[in-house]
Amino acid sequence: MSQQLSEQERIRREKLQQLVELGMDPYPAPLYPVNTTAAYIKAHYENGVNDAEFETVCLAGRLMSFRDMGKASFAVLQDSTGRIQLYVRRDDICPGEDKTAYNTVWKKLLDIGDIVGVKGFVFTTKTGETSVHVKEFSLLAKSLRPLPVVKEKEGEVYDAVTDPEFRYRQRYADLIINPEVKETFVKITRLKNAIRDFLNERGALEVDTPVLQSIPGGAAARPFGTHHNALDMPLYLRIANELYLKRLIVGGFDWVYEFSRNFRNEGMDRTHNPEFTVLEFYVAYKDYHWMMEITEQLFEKAALAVNGSTLVRSGEHEVNFRAPYKRITIYDAIKEHTGKDISGMDEEGLREVCRELNIPVEPSMGRGKLIDELFGEKCEHHYIQPTFIIDYPVEMSPLTKKHRDKEGLVERFELIVNGRELANAYSELNDPLDQRERFEEQSRLMERGDDEAMYIDQDFLRALEYGMPPTSGIGIGIDRMAMLLTEQPSIQDVLLFPQLRPEKP
């Protein structure tokens, strides 16, 4: 099928052909001797003080604007670090009789978006702007598709590209024309590095576990399925890496962690994407009280690493990640926000409460799911400052150790920040007989139609039978954490390539 080209795209292809006819390669070999960046020049050049360091500079990037002044012109080049002004004079780049390089190539055949390399020296213009006086330029890649035009004057941006469909689908263009987007992802890398440093300094070991799994375990979620041809067997993309990390604790590691790319075949909204990143770590001989303390320390360090402060703006709220964080049981939270004491209620009593509070529920939901719906609908959004919701009912937590003091509860917490769950942690269940019973109860829920109930993982049960030491574990939603720390309203804004529907032809 022939490609439908716009007028601008046809013109750029014609220019491409003219460049070839002039003997120029519009896509030359990749080696180009870059020795500096726009940001470095702007940060370190001092007019008349350190000129020697900047007598010969070589940098490369995209042309973002042109201003023709006849025998000279100004342009703006954008590299990976920012933008800098170029000054190009005809007689400098064409010292002989042949002025083709300037009059034809530079002025007529180059376009905004083209990638060029320039060599020259740094100077300060009469208006005080640090610039590069170009003595030589090279075309490194011809751009055949025009960028959306974004104008800026005296600090004001005009015609900014804000359409989410365009920005998420063409992230490459979004990164070019909205430089602040790149800073968001630089901060996310800083976040992950800070977490790695925090864990490594304490003796944790980073590991990798399978993405393709024969049983999708470790969470209550609907998996993506696939098929392995050579083994002729179904496989699933992991919904969590929990059960594999616990196997490593059985095997003798005391503290393991993994940044896990997880996949869940569920709905999409501003806080959910079918592909997302979770940090999970498991520590032998620790419990959920210790885990709350280490989690506070980790989040405080992460906030400082990303923003230099524990304070973060989120809409109309200011969130403070400085430890310690409030703790409240899930039953007390529900009582506080609904007036209902559900601590001794059976499944039918919980259904009645949901009906009274106009919370829709399904026949397949057991006691745990009903409590989860109550908390999610009526309580969660009230917790703006970091808060540990603790001591969950056993029905909600099939992988969690029973509470040492409270019958019917488990030693579990969720960290809620800005009305959203950011982390989920337990004193891990290490009793293989109890774990088998919990899995069997999940199997019964699956038979009732709960497509998020957990599968029975016989190999994991076998591992537990060898003996797993007392252990605490946690899962932290890295994308939601990144949303908060970079002040982004949607998970799509912290994913370089979020999932979208296919484009219409």
- Span 216-238, pLDDT tens digits: 888 878 899 999 999 999 999 99
3-state secondary structure 179-204: HHHHHHHHHHHHHHHHHHHHHHHCCC
Q: Which helix (H) or strand (E) holds 377?
A: helix 367-378
Q: Which residues of 231-263 are buried (b: 16+ CB within 10 A; e: fewer)?
A: eeeebbbbbbbbbbbbbbbbeebbbbbbbbebb
Q: Which pLDDT score is estimated for 494? A: 96
**Vertex 363: Cα angle to 362 and 368 (nearest 5):** 75
Instruction: Please confirm whether the linkage preceding 148 is cis (ω < 30° from 0).
Output: no
- Span 440-452, pLDDT tens digits: 887 887 777 766 6
Higher local confidence (pLDDT), 380 or 2 = 380
Q: Which pLDDT score is estimated for 445? A: 77
Domain ranges of the chain: 7-147, 239-325+385-494
Q: Are 498 and 490 in contact (CB under 8 A)?
A: no
Residue 247, pLDDT > 70, answer yes
Whether residue 156 is annotated as binding a ligand: the answer is: no
- Span 65-108, pLDDT tens digits: 999 999 999 999 999 999 999 999 999 999 999 999 999 999 99
Residue 243, pLDDT > 70, answer yes
Share of the chain above pLDDT 90, in %: 80
pLDDT average, residue stretch 33-38: 97
Q: Alpha carbon 421 to chain centroid distance?
A: 16
Q: What string of DSSP letters covers 264-313?
A: --S--BTTB-SEEEEEEEEEET--HHHHHHHHHHHHHHHHHHHHSSSEEE
Whether residue 242 is annotated as binding a ligand: the answer is: no
Report the top-level CATH class of 239-325+385-494.
Answer: alpha beta
* The one-letter amino acid at 487: E
3-state secondary structure of 448: coil
- Span 102-158, pLDDT tens digits: 999 999 999 999 999 999 999 999 999 999 999 999 999 999 999 987 666 655 654
Beta bridge partners of 417: 420
Residue 1, pLDDT > 60, answer no
Q: What is the CATH number of domain 7-147?
A: 2.40.50.140
- Span 451-469, pLDDT tens digits: 666 778 899 999 999 999 9
Q: Which of 70-79, 150-159, 164-173, 321-330 has the lowest mean pLDDT?
A: 150-159
Cβ contacts of 102 within 8 Å, gap of 6 or more: 88, 90, 93, 94
Q: Which helix (H) or strand (E) holds 350?
A: helix 347-356
Closest residue by Cα to residue 258 from 247, 266, 271? 247
- Look up tokens 């304490």; give the residue: 202
Crossing angle of the two packed helices 179-201 and 478-485, in degrees rounded to 10: 120
pTM of the model: 0.88
